[in-house]
Amino acid sequence: MPFVKKRFVIAEEIQAFLYLIRTFNMRQGDAQRLIARGRLLLDGKSMFDSSRRIVGPIELVYFEPESRGIPPLFEARDFLVYEKESGVLVHPNTMATEYSLLDEIRDHSGGDANAVHRIDMETSGLLMASKDKSSEPALKMMFEKREIQKSYLAWVDGQVNGSFQVTAPLKVREDYATNKHKVCVDASGKKAETYFESLYYDRGLDATLLACFPHTGRTHQIRVHLFHVKHPILGDPLYGASFETANLYLEGQLSKEDRLRKTGASRLMLHAQSLRFHYKSSYEIESKIDFRGMKDLICEKKLRIFNA
């Protein structure tokens, strides 16, 4: 469990943030943020005043990485690149999260290392992390400014020929009462642009492997754009699935069998394939995963039930 609670006894009265700085070699900002998140407990209750003077027994909840022995795919002086598996979170979303890629990142490079961008939990592939606080802002800014070119691979329903571009604007939805889509195509939404290229068509599965090149970075962009052109990504439990299927998935009640038949695959068939950028030197990093070979995870066409 990466979040642990440990008990300490403070012999002499001291301001809370100073205790964390001196005892755990924290920066002042990190100490104050930890307290602001309620991670320092007195008498079993969170306290939030970082300047409050404390003494005696306290409890501290903090992140202690627990590696599963996964090494980075690529390592440079300032950053790491990992191959994230489908189903693994980049960051823990609650203190009860048992494992995320952050466990590997911080086990390898220490407590200041951090992921500098995100990919969906069910998306596999390349994920970059900074090794320290000094490199983190610059790397994050490169992603925000689209200075890092990303490519993805996707297995989609049906036959797709040649190349095409989708420029439909995207908007984050606020009402999920009748539709579980987090994002939709909407004229009032933000500009979104994705270029697609057909790589291979499997006639037996009636599925096409596409290379995907997002030129903007909207939430669920590739997934929504492919759903928009009626070639949803196989295994997508939100876009291309029925309301009932999506709702069962979000509630953690969708069986593996129904997931396979009603979404077309046992996982979201989307993979972060490459990163191209210049950061002190030029880099072009490619995933080593044989994503084309993962077509074994796709349900046979005759057994697939979309929008049931």
Would you give per-residue pLDDT tens digits along the chain (308 residues)?
Answer: 578 889 999 999 999 999 999 998 888 998 999 999 999 999 999 999 999 999 999 999 988 899 999 999 999 999 999 999 999 999 998 878 899 999 999 999 998 999 999 999 999 999 999 999 999 999 999 999 999 999 999 999 999 999 999 999 999 998 888 888 889 999 999 999 999 999 999 999 999 999 999 999 999 999 999 999 999 999 999 998 999 999 999 999 999 999 999 999 999 999 999 999 999 999 999 999 999 999 999 999 999 986 64
Do residues 19 and 32 touch, judged by C-beta distance below 8 A? no
Question: What's the pLDDT score for residue 178?
Answer: 81
Structural domains of the chain in order of their starting residue, each with its CATH number: 3-63 (3.10.290.10), 65-145 (3.30.2350.10), 149-308 (3.30.2350.10)
Active site residue 120: yes
Catalytic residue selected from 30, 112, 120, 202 = 120
Q: Is the pTM of this model over 0.95?
A: no
CB of 139 closer than 8 Å to CB of 80: no
Residue with the two structure tokens 């490079």: 109
